[in-house]
């Protein structure tokens, strides 16, 4: 609302002078003192007055007069013409110029400097001296000044319990990698002390003094995995064969556990989350020979089961015990199982009949396969860690691995690929060393070998950024290590080179396989010709019993020969010691048989 | 007379030779006082170059002699985005050539 005051004035009155008139003073307001108001005030006695004895100072501001400055350039228009010359005058200037040109000194000078100039002009035409040479190599040079590959310990998380258990499995938190879930259990058969705690912990990597959260299962956990889709859910496989899952928001007790009747009969060695719409599917493997599929919402029974029977009959007695599982989300229908017997079984989930589920097996290891993982960049190749070696396989070659490490002095207990570099993988050994292998750099030895602790290292897990890794030891100590930048940044052409290397090795194995097949065919045809009977197929293959008998016979023959040799040597040696001793010795041998022989072998 | 003329002709010839080099855009000869003696460019450009180059030359020479009094400036090249300005100094005259360097 606008406040408007309108006043009117007659047009004829515009411009008129003001007529002022005198008027006496008028009293408008007279306010007399009101004594009663004095009651509202009290006399203040004493009065506090602050006084400062200091120099009195006053502040003044002064602005000086502005000093104005201006930037100006001088354009020297015409050169220093002699005083008498008028630069505007064309004729005069031309005449002057001509005079200079005739000067001998001028001519000599010009000849000299023109020569120099011509040289430079030609130079310019020949090459561009400011051209960027070695442009592409600049980057390489920078990277080549690499430091030695190294890894250093950042933090150590110790098992807070008195009785130390093995850190059997580690899992990094899927978002942000600030937490590490570690499963503790004692895998030694019936050696777990009575007062051993069953708890597993989730550690915050910044705080090694106290675990962030405790998980209290009914039986110690052998493996533990975070749900990659929901970072609050963890699933764990326990020593008694049950599967349990936790919701970290709900507390330390498992949210739900699988029923004993339908669970595994042996410790669950590996649990993996599957790729599904609901994000609640898992599958688990155990040495009882079964691979079970579960939906965590309904843990009362698994919704699918597979028996690892190589004869494909589903016979549990024949089944191979599973120790590791492998599942790649980019290939959801296939998965692989590493067994106790040293075989890797490749399976197809979508097969119609259970017999078709087992697709093929890869043999080559002597002991249980503790780790099995596909290369994140080349899923056709996978790494297995077992007995004393680590081997790299190609899916197509079933008879042997394409690349392998040498046999080490200690058992290799776990391993994994680096998620950022296709040629780098890590393994841990029973003597407590961590090996970092870079197959592009060196294939015979690890690129970096680091002794992390004195006891065996049982598990290892690399973080998604490839920079940090955690390894768990037999006494429950989890060590967090950081690797040097060179080991976790992708090098130039690395993918191409690794792919070439794998192809080359695969080809080599294929050729060897083909050769073996040829040789076998030749053998077969030769033995067929020598025998003239029906049932040609049974030729090259003796029955199991015959084979066993033959092996036994050969074994005992060799033993006898060795024994005789040893005896002769002993006799020579003990001739000086005395005859009675010798006689006793011989008798002992004859009665005890082979067992004493082996004992002697050890003592020798 | 003949000698001088021949010498004069020689100078002309030299300048023409430089001019005919690939990429050369212009040649200017300036004396110690800043007067352009000979130029293949138009007057305004000539005058601009002459004035500016003279100052630059003085500065460069001063710098070289400052660092080492025994030293002296023999040649000056100013490379810019579009071309290269080459200056050959002498006691009394200097020669400026503007060339567009080949890619």
H-state helical runs in B20-77: 43-67
What is the rounded CA–CA span in Å between residue A547 and residue A371?
A: 33
Q: For the segment A327-376, what is each residue's pLDDT rounded down to a tens digit?
A: 888 888 888 888 888 888 888 888 777 667 788 888 888 888 898 998 88
- The beta-carbon neighbor of B10 closest among A78, A80, A111 is A111
Residue A96 at interface with chain B, using a CB cutoff of 8 Å: yes
HSE-up of residue A380 (Cα within 13 Å, Cβ side)? 12
Classify residue A575 as left (phi > 0), alpha (psi -120 to 50) or beta.
alpha
Percent over 90 (pLDDT), chain B: 20
- Give the residues across from A415 on adjacent strands: A427
Chain B CB contacts of A118 under 8 Å are 14, 17-18, 21
Q: Give CA–CA dist A532/A563, Å, rounded.
A: 42
Mean pLDDT of chain B: 85
Residue-wise over A385-423: b if at least 16 C-beta within 10 A, else e? bbbbbbbbbbbebbebbbbbbeebeebbbbbbbbbbbbb
A281 Cβ neighbours under 8 A, 6+ residues apart: A273, A274, A293, A294, A295, A296
Binary contact (B21, A118; C-beta < 8 A): yes
- Name the residue among B37, B47, B74 with its Cβ closest to that of A101: B37
Closest by Cβ to B33, choosing from A79, A97, A121: A79
Enter the ipTM.
0.75
Q: How far is CA B77 from CA B60, B66, B73, in A?
A: 11, 19, 11
Burial of B14 (0-12, 13-18, 19+ CB in 10 A): buried
Instruction: Tell me which residues of chain A, numbers 124 to 153, contact chain B at a CB-CB cutoff of 8 Å.
Output: 124-125, 128, 130
Residue A292, strand partner residues: A284, A305
Given a contact cutoff of 8 angstroms between Cβ atoms, the answer to whether A571 and A577 are in contact is no
Spatial contact of A380 and A336, defined as CB atoms under 8 Å apart: no
Query: Cβ(A370)–Cβ(A411) under 8 Å?
Result: no
Say yes or no: A79 contacts chain B, CB-CB below 8 A: yes
This prediction's pTM = 0.55
**Residues facing A203 on adjacent strands:** A180
Minimal Cβ distance to A113: which of B8, B95, B103: B95
From the list A79, A109, A124, the residue facing B34 with the nearest CB is A79
Please tell me which residue of chain B has the smallest CA distance to A122.
Answer: B21
Chain A CA closest to residue B45:
A77
* Cβ–Cβ contact A73 with B under 8 A: no
Whole-number pLDDT of residue A79: 60
The DSSP output letter for A298 is B
Q: Which residues of A touch B78 (CB under 8 A)?
A: none
| pLDDT band (50, 70, 90) for residue B102 | low
The secondary structure element, H or E, covering residue A98 is helix A90-102
Determine the pLDDT at residue A126: 80
- What string of DSSP letters covers A429-448? ETTSEEEEEETTT-SSS-SE
Q: Residue A348: which H helix or E strand, with range?
A: strand A343-348
pLDDT single digits (tens) A158-196 = 888 888 888 889 999 888 778 889 998 887 777 767 778
Q: For residues A495 and A377, is the Cβ–Cβ distance under 8 A?
A: yes
Alpha-carbon span A364 to B68, nearest angstrom: 77
Q: Which residues, including other chains, have CB under 8 Å from residue A310's CB and lie 6 or more apart? A: A318, A320, A343, A345, A358, A361
* pLDDT < 70 stretches in chain A: 74-80, 135-147, 192, 312-314, 354-355, 531-543, 576-604
- Whether chain B has a CB inside 8 Å of the CB on A94: the answer is no
Interatomic CA distance for residues A381 and A375, integer angstroms: 6
Residue whose token pair is 């007057």 = B43
In the sheet with A243-247, reading across from the earlier edge strand, the strands are A221-226, A233-238, A243-247, A256-257
| Residue B12: how many other CB atoms lie within 10 Å | 13
Q: Which two tokens stand for residue B15?
A: 């300048």
In the numeric block, the tokens 């400097």 are attached to A113
So what's the pLDDT on residue A593? 47
Could you tell me if A163 and A196 are in contact, meaning their C-beta atoms sit under 8 angstroms apart?
Answer: yes
Q: Pick B33's closest partner by Cβ from A80, A111, A114.
A: A80
User: Which tokens go with B69?
Assistant: 């009094």
CB-based contact A254:A234 (threshold 8 Å): no
Distance CA B77, CA B97 (A): 10
CB contact under 8 A, A79 and B50: yes
In the three-class reduction of DSSP (H, G, I as helix; E, B as strand; rest coil), residue A337 is classed as strand
Cβ-Cβ contacts under 8 Å, A112 against chain B: 90
Q: Which residue of A107, A122, A132 to mutate against B (max B Cβ within 10 Å)?
A: A107
How far apart are the C-alpha atoms of A445 and A409, rounded to whole Å?
13
Q: Is B98 helix (H, G, I), strand (E, B) or coil?
A: strand
């Amino acid at each position: 609302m606008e406040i408007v005051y309108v006043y009117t004035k007659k047009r004829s009155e515009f411009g008129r002078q003001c007529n002022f008139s005198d008027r006496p003073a008028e009293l408008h307001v007279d306010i007399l003192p009101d004594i009663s108001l004095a009651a509202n005030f009290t006399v203040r006695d004493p009065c506090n007055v602050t006084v400062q004895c200091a120099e009195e100072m006053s502040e003044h501001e002064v602005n000086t007069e502005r000093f104005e400055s201006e930037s100006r350039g001088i354009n020297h228009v015409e050169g220093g013409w002699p005083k008498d010359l008028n630069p505007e005058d064309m004729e005069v200037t031309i005449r002057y110029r001509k005079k200079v040109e005739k000067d001998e000194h001028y001519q000599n000078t010009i000849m000299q400097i023109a020569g120099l100039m011509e040289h430079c002009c030609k130079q310019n035409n020949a090459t561009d001296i400011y051209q960027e040479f070695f442009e592409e190599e600049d980057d390489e040079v920078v990277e080549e000044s690499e430091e030695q590959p190294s890894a250093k310990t950042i933090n150590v998380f110790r098992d807070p319990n008195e009785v130390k258990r093995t850190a059997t499995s580690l899992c990094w938190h899927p978002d942000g990698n600030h937490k590490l879930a570690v499963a503790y259990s004692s895998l030694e058969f019936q050696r777990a002390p009575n007062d051993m705690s069953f708890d597993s912990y989730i550690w915050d990597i910044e705080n090694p003094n106290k675990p962030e959260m405790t998980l209290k299962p009914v039986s110690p956990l052998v493996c533990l995995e975070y749900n990659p889709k929901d970072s609050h859910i963890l699933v764990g496989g326990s020593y008694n064969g049950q599967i349990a899952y936790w919701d970290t928001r709900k507390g330390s007790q498992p949210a739900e556990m699988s029923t004993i009747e339908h669970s595994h009969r042996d410790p669950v060695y590996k649990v993996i989350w599957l790729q599904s719409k609901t994000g609640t599917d898992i599958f688990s493997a155990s040495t009882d020979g079964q691979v079970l599929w579960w939906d965590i919402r309904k843990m009362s029974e698994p919704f699918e089961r597979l028996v690892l029977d190589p004869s494909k009959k589903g016979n549990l007695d024949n089944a191979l015990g599973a120790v590791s599982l492998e599942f790649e989300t980019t290939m959801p229908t296939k998965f692989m199982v590493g067994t106790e017997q040293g075989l890797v079984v490749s399976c197809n989930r979508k097969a119609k009949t259970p017999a078709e589920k087992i697709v093929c097996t890869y043999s080559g290891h002597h002991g249980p396969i503790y780790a099995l993982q596909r290369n994140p960049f080349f899923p056709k190749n996978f790494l297995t860690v077992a007995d004393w070696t680590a081997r790299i396989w190609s899916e197509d070659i079933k008879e042997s691995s394409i690349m392998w490490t040498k046999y080490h002095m200690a058992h290799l207990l776990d391993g994994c690929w680096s998620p950022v570099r296709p040629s780098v993988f890590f393994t841990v050994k029973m003597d407590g060393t961590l090996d970092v292998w870079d197959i592009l750099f060196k294939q015979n030895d690890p690129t970096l070998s680091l002794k992390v602790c004195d006891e065996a290292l049982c598990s290892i897990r690399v973080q998604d950024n490839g920079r940090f890794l955690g390894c768990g030891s037999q006494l429950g100590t989890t060590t967090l290590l950081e690797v040097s930048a060179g080991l976790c940044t992708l090098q130039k052409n690395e993918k191409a080179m690794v792919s070439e290397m794998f192809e080359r090795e695969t080809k080599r194995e294929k050729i060897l396989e083909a050769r073996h097949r040829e040789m076998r065919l030749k053998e077969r045809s030769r033995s067929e010709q020598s025998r003239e009977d029906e049932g040609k197929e049974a030729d090259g293959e003796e029955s199991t019993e015959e084979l066993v008998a033959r092996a036994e016979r050969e074994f005992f023959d060799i033993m006898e020969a060795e024994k005789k040799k040893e005896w002769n040597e002993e006799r020579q040696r003990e001739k000086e010691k005395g005859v009675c001793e010798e006689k006793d010795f011989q008798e002992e041998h004859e009665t005890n048989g082979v067992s004493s022989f082996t004992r002697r072998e050890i003592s020798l | 007379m003949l000698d001088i003329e021949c010498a004069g002709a020689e100078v002309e010839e030299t300048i023409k030779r430089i001019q005919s080099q690939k990429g050369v855009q212009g040649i200017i000869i300036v004396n110690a006082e800043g007067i352009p003696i000979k130029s293949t460019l138009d007057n305004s450009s000539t005058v601009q170059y002459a004035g500016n180059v003279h100052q630059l030359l003085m500065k460069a020479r001063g710098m070289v002699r400052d660092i080492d009094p025994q030293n002296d400036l023999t040649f000056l090249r100013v490379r810019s985005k579009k071309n290269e300005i080459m200056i050959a100094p002498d006691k009394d005259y200097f020669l400026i050539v503007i060339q567009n360097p080949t890619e």
